Amino acid sequence: MVSDLFDRIKSDKGPLGKWADKAEGYYVFPKLEGPISNRMNFNGKPVVTWSINDYLGLANHPEVLKADGEAALEHGMAYPMGARMMSGHTKYHEQLEQECAEFVGKEASYLVNFGYQGMVSAIDALVSKDDIIVYDMDTHACIIDGVRLHAGKRFVYRHNDIESCEKNLKRATKMAEKTGGGILLVSEGVFGMRGEQGRLREIVALKEKYNFRLLVDDAHGFGTLGEGGRGTGYEQGVQDGIDVYFATFAKSMAGIGAFFAGDKDVVQYLQYNMRSQMFAKSLPMPMVKGALKRLDMIRTMPELKDKLWDITNALQSGLRDAGFDLGTTQTCITPVYLKGDIPEAMAMVHDLRENHGVFCSIVVYPVIPRGMIILRLIPTARHTIEDVNETIKAFTAIREKLSNGTYKRIAEAIMTA
C-alpha cells in the first residue's frame, strides 16, 4: 500500500518543527522590530540585541543606506535579468569580484547569490566520484549538504582535532591512491557556534606531508579577523595555504551574496561548474553596488573593526570576571555555557527578554548535547559599554535563578497547568 506522503509530515514534524507550537514567534522565528541596531524592539519592548551578525555595524550606516538606495533607484531590484552566463552579467559584478579577490589576497574571485547554495555547489563542483573529502565534524550545514552530494568517499574528523584530522588524511590518501583521485579538506575559519578559529596553521602545515587542497568557509572571520579584516587566513598567517577561500556578505558586510576566491583557473572552473549559480538569477544591482560600498568602508574605516574588538573584549572579560564559562572562543562570537534542560532554558530566556531587556540566541539539544544550554552573544561595532554592563548584570541575575531552581519550578508549573 502506498501511503500519503503527507501522513508522515503531519505526524513527524522534524527535530525542530516539533517545538513549533510552543516556541514559534518567541524562541524561534522571533520578530525583532525597528532599525537594525544594538537596541531593537521585541514583543513590544526595547531589548539590547546580541543576535545579529552585523559585526561592523554597517547594516544601517547612512553611507550604506545611501549606496543601497541609489542603486535601487537607478536599477530597481530586477537588473540584471537572467543568470550571469546568459544575460545577467555586468561590469559591476566583475568589479566586485576583482576587489574581493584583491582584498583577500587571491588572484580571482566569483560571486554567488547566497553563501549556503554557493558552498553546496562549490563542493559539488570541486570533487568527482574518485576524489575524497575530509572535513571537520562541526562544520556548517552548507558544507554538510555539499558533502552529501558527493558520490565518492568522505572522512570526518573530530572538531578542530589535528590528530584526528591527520589520521583521516592518511586514510584519505590510501583511498585516493586506489581511486587515482584527489583530496579536498574543508574547514571553517571561525566556527560560528562556539567561536573557535579553525586550526588553519596546523592544517596548512599538513600539506607538507599530504597532498590535498584546502577549502575554508570564513563566513565569520571575514571583516572581523586578520589585518584590515582580511579574515582568518591572515590572522593565522596562512592565507596562501588556503586554496579556495569563501566568505559571505551576510555577516560583516551586512548584505546578501558571497564569493569564492583562489587561483584564476580554479575560480574560472567554479564559474562554469557551480550549478546553483549557472542556473539561477544573477545577484541584483543594489546588492552588488551595495557590496562595493561596504567593502570600501571595511578597507578605509579600520575603526569599525577596532570598535568591534573593544566591545568584544569588554563583554568577554566582563563575563569571565563574573564567573561565566565562555568555552574556547577566540573570536567575537561569545557563547555562554550553562547547564539545564530545554523547559528551564525557555523559562530563563523568557525572563532575560521580558524582565531584563536582553535578547540573544539560545542553543539547546539537538544542536548541542542534552543538558547543555548556550546563550550566544554576537557583539558588534554598534554596541556600547552600557549595553555590556547591563547584559552582565542580567546574566548574573538569571544564573542565580537557574542554579536555585526558579526556572525549573516555573517550567514545571507551566507543564502541569
Ligand X SMILES: Cc1ncc(COP(=O)(O)O)c(C=O)c1O
With CB under 6 A as the contact rule, the residue among 114, 135, 212, 234 that binds ligand X is 114
Residue placing its CB nearer to ligand X in the complex, 188 or 387: 188
Residue placing its CB nearer to ligand X in the complex, 250 or 301: 250
Rule CB under 6 A: say whether 192 interacts with ligand X: yes
CB-closest chain residue to ligand X: 115
Rule CB under 6 A: say whether 294 interacts with ligand X: no
- 83 in Cβ contact with 77 (< 8 Å): no
What is the distance of C-alpha 382 from the center of its chain? 19
- The amino acid that residue 81 corresponds to is M
Mark the segment that binds ligand X (CB under 6 A) among 86-94, 113-121, 123-131, 323-331: 113-121
Residue placing its CB nearer to ligand X in the complex, 119 or 362: 119
Rule CB under 6 A: say whether 358 interacts with ligand X: no
Q: Output the furthest CA–CA distance in the chain (Å, rounded).
A: 66
For residue 195, what is its C-alpha cell?
A: 567561536
Rule CB under 6 A: say whether 124 interacts with ligand X: no
Mark the segment that binds ligand X (CB under 6 A) among 31-39, 109-117, 306-314, 382-390: 109-117
The span from the CA of 374 to the CA of 192, in Å, is 12
Rule CB under 6 A: say whether 231 interacts with ligand X: no
Rule CB under 6 A: say whether 219 interacts with ligand X: yes
Residue placing its CB nearer to ligand X in the complex, 162 or 250: 250
Asked if the bond preceding 80 is cis, omega within 30° of 0, the reply is yes
Rule CB under 6 A: say whether 188 interacts with ligand X: yes
Closest CA to 96 of 60, 66, 67, 119: 67
Q: How many residues bind ligand X (CB under 6 A)?
A: 13
Closest approach of ligand X to the CB of residue 113, in Å: 8
Residue placing its CB nearer to ligand X in the complex, 115 or 231: 115
Residue placing its CB nearer to ligand X in the complex, 195 or 340: 195
Rule CB under 6 A: say whether 335 interacts with ligand X: no
Give whole-number Cα distances, 171 to 1, 210, 262, 269, in Å: 44, 11, 27, 27
The span from the CA of 331 to the CA of 350, in Å, is 27
With CB under 6 A as the contact rule, the residue among 110, 116, 260, 359 that binds ligand X is 116
The span from the CA of 151 to the CA of 331, in Å, is 35
Residue placing its CB nearer to ligand X in the complex, 52 or 119: 119
Residue placing its CB nearer to ligand X in the complex, 116 or 260: 116
Rule CB under 6 A: say whether 248 interacts with ligand X: yes
Rule CB under 6 A: say whether 138 interacts with ligand X: no
- 380 in Cβ contact with 312 (< 8 Å): no
Residue placing its CB nearer to ligand X in the complex, 192 or 195: 192
For residue 378, what is its C-alpha cell?
A: 554576537
The span from the CA of 146 to the CA of 170, in Å, is 22
Rule CB under 6 A: say whether 140 interacts with ligand X: yes
Closest approach of ligand X to the CB of residue 140, in Å: 4
Q: Which of residues 255-274 bind ligand X (CB under 6 A)?
A: 258
Rule CB under 6 A: say whether 217 interacts with ligand X: yes
Closest approach of ligand X to the CB of residue 319, in Å: 22
With CB under 6 A as the contact rule, the residue among 83, 250, 297, 301 that binds ligand X is 250
Residue 18 carries which DSSP code? Answer: G
- 39 in Cβ contact with 49 (< 8 Å): yes
Residue placing its CB nearer to ligand X in the complex, 123 or 347: 123
Q: What is the CB-side half-sphere exposure of residue 275 using CA atoms within 13 A? A: 8
Rule CB under 6 A: say whether 245 interacts with ligand X: no
Closest approach of ligand X to the CB of residue 77, in Å: 18
141 by Cβ neighbours in 10 Å (0-12 / 13-18 / 19+) ranks as exposed
The span from the CA of 124 to the CA of 175, in Å, is 19
Sequence-distant (≥ 6) Cβ neighbours of residue 214 within 8 angstroms:
185, 186, 187, 200, 203, 204, 207, 241, 242, 243, 244
Closest CA to 181 of 135, 140, 224, 212: 212
Q: Which H helix or E strand runs over 339? A: strand 334-339
Residues making contact with ligand X (CB under 6 A): 114-116, 119, 140, 142, 188, 192, 217, 219, 248, 250, 258
